[in-house]
A and B are shown apart, each in its own frame.
Chain A
Amino acid sequence: MTTGTAAKPALTAEEARLLHEASLRDYDIQAHPHDYYRAMRKGDRVHFDERLGSWLVSRHEDILSVQADPITFSVNMGYHTQQARGMREEFQAILERDGGGYFPDAIMSDPPYHTRIRKLMENAFTAHRVKELEPRIREEVVDLLEKVADRGAADAVTEIAVPLTIRVIVEQLGLDHGMEAQISRWSQAVVAQISSMQSRETMLENAKLICDLQNYLIGKMKEREKAPREDMISDIVHARIAMDDGTTETLTFAEAVSLVRALMIAGNDTTATAIGNLFLLLATRPEVAATLDACVEDDRRLTRFVEELLRVEPPVRALSRMTSREAVLGGTTIPAHAHMLLVYGSANDQDEVFPDPRKFDMDRHNLGRHVSFGGGVHRCVGLSLARMEVKVMAREIARRMADIKLAIAPGDIRYVPTVATRTIEHLPITFTRRQG
């Protein structure tokens, strides 16, 4: 205690036990993580989770430091070492043979390459452009809610949240309606490649699905190359930016394929998870339902409501980085080539940043400090679209549904077993239809 650094606050016996024994690999921790997060923040802010083999960055200020140095803390290395772990060459050969090529994820990269890629995709996603999509998103939301409204019961995840986000991305990219189920299967195959949970058999099955996906996307992209339309595939295929030196930058076809594929995946589960969480809070916390009712016709307030929802229940729990050299973070030395997870869920729950963090308080004056969308150069590209989908959903729920209740015991809620997101699998609810 004479090292000159501030003394660590004393841990409770339970917190000490968690630090010693628990792992983010454990399903129970994944499902109910807040005590583990707090133990790390208090007792071991940059914590090596042995069973996971990863350094967990738990504190808000340390996550900000990582985000500010995207070269030392590499997304490129963090992501690509996760892909098809141990079976990478075979996977790559299959895609080259049957899937039109192996297209490394251009967005999962580091500056300066990443800077160019980002610039070429950002135009499609500005808040002002997304605002123009609101009427179409509203139609989809209303259609889905009306299907269940008179029934008084639904699975909020599989019947509302998941179909909405797939419909929106199909429409925005300019894919074919009717393909939603197929696209959902393809998305799962891509996500499975980085889950580090694949056997060789599932890798082969998933590789086949990814080949089909790529062939489908390549077909669409070739069409849009010749005849552009008002959709994001056209935006990406024809993206160009003027550089300061007077030259023009475009994407290679391989980069474009990887970006279309990334957009198809990145916004689905995440946004669906956010909507699932919205239903959960409305069903289990009456004060949240009352807060929504009070702000539903005020766009500015509703925007705040959505932001606090994303803070209090962040869909993305933790994402990967890898150290490109030895680095000191929060007083801990992390070796070179170490795998790290930025635990966004923990940073959002830090009471020095967000007092009384479990409380739903949309009047927090520093709401924009949450890290649910990450931050720095890798901050979510699709954040305006995500906010819009959740906002329109919240508004239309409040206009149509009342007395939303869980149709299962809270203890029976199951989460998808993964470190990356905290996603409810099924959420059976009951409700009444609002009159008028």
Chain B
Amino acid sequence: MGNLTVIMTDVEGKVHRIGNLDEGRNLMETAKANGVAGIYGDCGGGCACATCHVYVDEQWWAKVGEPDDIEGAMLDMVADVQRPNSRLGCQIRMRPELDGLSVTVAPSSAA
């Protein structure tokens, strides 16, 4: 068991503080394993469905970093809820610099 922590605010506004995470664990898996509402992860972390969309809290953005082109194209599919600090949870892997990372789950694209 690892020693990293992430804080996720789900789509219902509930704050989940999830600890004991291993390095390499991605945010989508972490959210699903802990019942974080609004994260579905339909494609299993394949960067192909955008159902694991999160907003990274501003103070963490620089450390988390920009999405690559493939992820950017996927985020573009949910442009109505995309923001400058959007990332796909399955593409963010925990590592020591991200200990304490805080993100908010994005709502689904509008019907």
Chain A interface (Cβ < 8 Å from any Cβ of B):
60-61, 118-119, 122, 125-128, 131, 244, 299-300, 303-304, 307, 352-353, 365-369, 375-377, 379, 381, 383-384, 387
* B110→A300 contact, CB < 8 A: no
Q: Which of B40, B70, B80 has a CB less than 8 Å from the CB of A376?
A: B40
A303/B46 contact (C-beta < 8 A), A61-B111, A127-B70, A128-B70 known = no
* A131→B70 contact, CB < 8 A: yes
* B73→A300 contact, CB < 8 A: yes
Q: Does B43 contact A (CB under 8 A)?
A: yes
Interface of A is mostly: helix
Min C-beta distance of A285 to chain B, whole Å: 22
A126/B47 contact (C-beta < 8 A), A300-B73, A376-B42, A379-B42 known = yes
- Alpha-carbon gap, A434 to B96, bound state (A): 54
* CB neighbours of A368 from chain B (8 A): 49-50, 74, 77-78, 109
- Alpha-carbon gap, A107 to B72, bound state (A): 30
* CB neighbours of B72 from chain A (8 A): 300
- Alpha-carbon gap, A303 to B74, bound state (A): 9
* A384→B48 contact, CB < 8 A: yes
- Which of chain B's residues has its CB closest to A367's CB? B77
* B48→A299 contact, CB < 8 A: no
Query: Which residues 58-74 of B have a CB within 8 angstroms of A?
Result: 69-70, 72-74
Min C-beta distance of A156 to chain B, whole Å: 26
CB<8 Å pairs between A and B, sample of 9: A122-B44, A125-B48, A127-B47, A368-B49, A368-B74, A368-B109, A376-B42, A377-B42, A384-B46
* CB neighbours of B47 from chain A (8 A): 126-128, 384
Q: Does B45 contact A (CB under 8 A)?
A: yes
- Which of chain B's residues has its CB closest to A122's CB? B44
* A365→B46 contact, CB < 8 A: no
* A366→B42 contact, CB < 8 A: no
Min C-beta distance of A13 to chain B, whole Å: 29
* B78→A366 contact, CB < 8 A: yes
* A299→B40 contact, CB < 8 A: no
- Alpha-carbon gap, A9 to B105, bound state (A): 36
* CB neighbours of B78 from chain A (8 A): 366, 368
- Alpha-carbon gap, A304 to B73, bound state (A): 8
- Alpha-carbon gap, A383 to B42, bound state (A): 11
Q: Does B57 contact A (CB under 8 A)?
A: no
- Alpha-carbon gap, A383 to B69, bound state (A): 17
* B49→A300 contact, CB < 8 A: no
* CB neighbours of A125 from chain B (8 A): 46, 48
- Alpha-carbon gap, A375 to B43, bound state (A): 9
